[in-house]
Amino acid sequence: MDQQKLTDLLKLMINEADELRDYNRDSAKFRTWEDKVYRRIINIYGKDSREYFGFKGIPFNMMLGQNIWEKANPSVQKRHFNDCLDEAKLFFEGLIEDIQLFPKKSLEESSETQVKKIFISHSSKDKKIVSEIVHLLSLIGVQDSSIFCTSLSGYDIPLGDNWLETLKSEISGEVIVLFVLSENYFQSNVSLCEMGAAWVLSKKHVPILIPPVEFKNIDGVIPLTQGLIIRDKHKWTQLKTQLEILFNLSPKAPQIWETRRDEILERIEYLLIP
């Protein structure tokens, strides 16, 4: 990003912080602003940057060790909230000073870490379930052009293209891979080959388990720290939040998301019936 534009953006964030003084930590306006700040910081500096952890360290939530009366007292809560807003302003002002002190520092490299695509690794026999997963991704706000899936028309490899070469070109450090792990998947040599290629070429992975497959059944196959069972509503909401940050998406209203998410998961549940 151009350094003048970045400076202007940081000044805008300072002004936005001032406009929040009549609100509180639980207000929709603050939560929207906080989400927006996180997206901006991640896109500009990266999620592993000191800037990201610097903003994350501002204690907008009162610490658990504080006196219960203080946490319940509105005036104390208000003062704490405004103190945190002041801390955020000083944080943004410090970033502006960094730009002025180090004018030649490039910030463009951090933007290269932004996820550009989602690759869905799956068995072709699970095509109907994967189609519903694509519907969930679309509901979250991921564009069709950002989804790569070998079995669905429009998301697949063009006719005449070399399968492995296309896979290599599509999967890179800028891709998050969703492994749709089912009994069909582990019985398919093509799927297992795809898993190996995707694992080596990409940096972000999320296993999605299709019953009766369980985490204990595939322990040691791939790390499962961020995995989910496909019918788990809450895990899908967590994944939604991650994708909103990674793709810089506007958050879907909870009522809309939950209603449509549940409709899609009901269809998936029907597909799981033997």
Q: For 208-220, how does the pLDDT look when each residue is reduced to its tens digit (9 = 90+)?
A: 999 988 877 666 5
Residue of 19, 132, 170, 194 with catalytic role: 194
Rounded Cα–Cα distance for residues 215 and 221 (Å): 10
Q: In whole angstroms, what separates CA 44 from the centre of its chain?
A: 15
Domain regions of the chain by residue span: 3-110, 117-271
State pTM to two decimals.
Answer: 0.55
Helices marked H in 19-73: 28-45, 50-56, 68-72
194 is catalytic: yes
The torsion angles phi and psi of 111, rounded to 5 degrees, stand at -70, -20
Right CATH for 117-271 from 2.102.10.10, 2.160.10.10, 3.40.50.10140, 2.40.480.10: 3.40.50.10140
The torsion angles phi and psi of 53, rounded to 5 degrees, stand at -70, -25
Q: For 126-160, how does the pLDDT look when each residue is reduced to its tens digit (9 = 90+)?
A: 999 999 999 999 999 998 888 887 765 543 444 44
Poorest-pLDDT segment among 130-134, 165-169, 251-255, 262-266? 165-169
How high is the pLDDT of residue 162?
44
Q: For 28-54, how does the pLDDT look when each residue is reduced to its tens digit (9 = 90+)?
A: 999 999 999 998 888 888 877 778 888
Poorest-pLDDT segment among 7-21, 88-102, 188-202? 188-202
How high is the pLDDT of residue 214?
81
